[in-house]
């Protein structure tokens, strides 16, 4: 059984970041019976995190979360994107970890934002941070904008989620990302099915 910690750094309650974390957890459970996932919300630790940045050590409740993160087989990291990057609270939590805490750890990166214009923030801000931490980040980053939560987004978000979680599960099994260049068209995608359904 692989133990996965999902870190949600959404600041509002309820938050779309937490919704995305929950979707990722659901997808992990659906695709593998061999994982257990616990979701940690940084909002509830905001004071402890701030204290840690001032005192230099983590209070017991925060230390307990840090210990779980370090011991986990894999991480799911979900953060909102504010002003072109992750919020300070998220970075302060990362700063509270030892420099080698995430070395070699499989990590799935996900983020939320108001519009799809922010989607590359995963690759331009989160990925460098986790490269510095020497974590093993799965190729698919999952970004959800407000659009993805509406019906007009179709299930594109669901497809990205399943692809990313599939990569994480495969990585945990020691099977690489389990992906290679597609050589066949996806005949069962929505757009394909619509082509042969005049009354859809």
Partner 1 sequence: MTTMQFGLFTVGDVTTDPTNGTTPTEHERIKNTITIAKKAEEIGLDVFATGEHHNPPFVPSSPTTTLAYIAAQTEKLILSTSTTLITTNDPVKIAEDYATLQHLSDGRMDLMLGRGNTAPVYPWFGYDGSRAVELTVEHYHLLRKLWDEEVVNWEGKFRTPLQGFTATPRPLDGVAPFVWHANIRTPEVAELAAYYGDGFFANNIFWPKEHYIRLIDFYRKRYAHYGHGEPEQAIVGLGGQFYIRKNSQDAVNEFRPYFDNAPVYGHGPSLEDFSSQTPLTVGSPQHFIEKTLAFADYFGDYQRQLFLVDHAGLPLKLVLEQLDELGEVLPTLRAEFDARRPANVPDAPTHASRVAAKLAEPVESAEEEVSA
195 binds partner 1 (CB under 8 A): yes
Give the interface size with partner 1 as a residue count (CB under 8 A): 11
CA proximity to 92, closest of 67, 118, 119, 129: 129
Residue 118: phi and psi, rounded to 5, are -90, 5
- Give the residue with the Cβ less far from partner 1, 55 or 197: 197
Closest CB to partner 1 among residues 131, 159: 159
Count CB atoms within 10 A of the CB of residue 12. Answer: 10
Asked if 196 touches partner 1 (CB under 8 A), the answer is yes
Contact 85, 117 (CB under 8 A): no
Does position 132 bind partner 1 by CB under 8 A? no
State how far the Cα of 88 lies from the Cα of 91, in Å rounded to an integer.
Answer: 5
| From candidates 104, 150, 174, 198, binder to partner 1 by CB under 8 A | 198
Q: Which stretch binds partner 1 (CB under 8 A): 9-17, 71-79, 132-140, 185-193?
A: 185-193
| Residue 25 vs residues 44, 121, 186: alpha-carbon distances, Å | 19, 22, 25
- Rule CB under 8 A: choose which of 44, 173, 179, 192 binds partner 1: 192
> Token pair for residue 108?
């799935």
Closer to partner 1 by CB, 55 or 191: give it: 191
Query: Which residues of this protein are in contact with partner 1, per CB under 8 A?
Result: 185, 187, 191-192, 194-200
């Amino acid at each position: 059984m692989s133990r996965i910690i999902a870190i949600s750094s959404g600041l509002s309650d309820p938050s779309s970041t937490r919704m995305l974390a929950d979707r990722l957890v659901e997808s992990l459970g659906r695709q593998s019976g061999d994982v257990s996932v616990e979701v940690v919300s940084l909002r509830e630790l905001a004071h402890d995190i701030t204290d840690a940045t001032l005192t230099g050590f983590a209070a017991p409740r925060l230390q307990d979360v840090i210990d779980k993160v370090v011991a986990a087989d894999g991480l799911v990291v979900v953060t909102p994107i504010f002003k072109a990057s992750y919020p300070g609270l998220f970075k302060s939590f990362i700063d509270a970890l030892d420099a080698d805490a995430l070395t070699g750890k499989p990590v799935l990166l996900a983020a939320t934002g108001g519009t799809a214009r922010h989607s590359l923030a995963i690759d331009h801000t989160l990925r460098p941070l986790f490269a510095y931490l020497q974590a093993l980040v799965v190729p698919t980053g999952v970004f959800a904008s407000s659009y993805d939560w509406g019906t007009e987004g179709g299930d594109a978000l669901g497809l990205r989620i399943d692809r990313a979680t599939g990569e994480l599960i495969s990585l945990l099994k020691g099977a690489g990302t389990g992906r290679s260049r597609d050589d066949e068209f996806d005949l069962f995608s929505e757009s394909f099915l619509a082509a042969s359904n005049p009354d859809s």
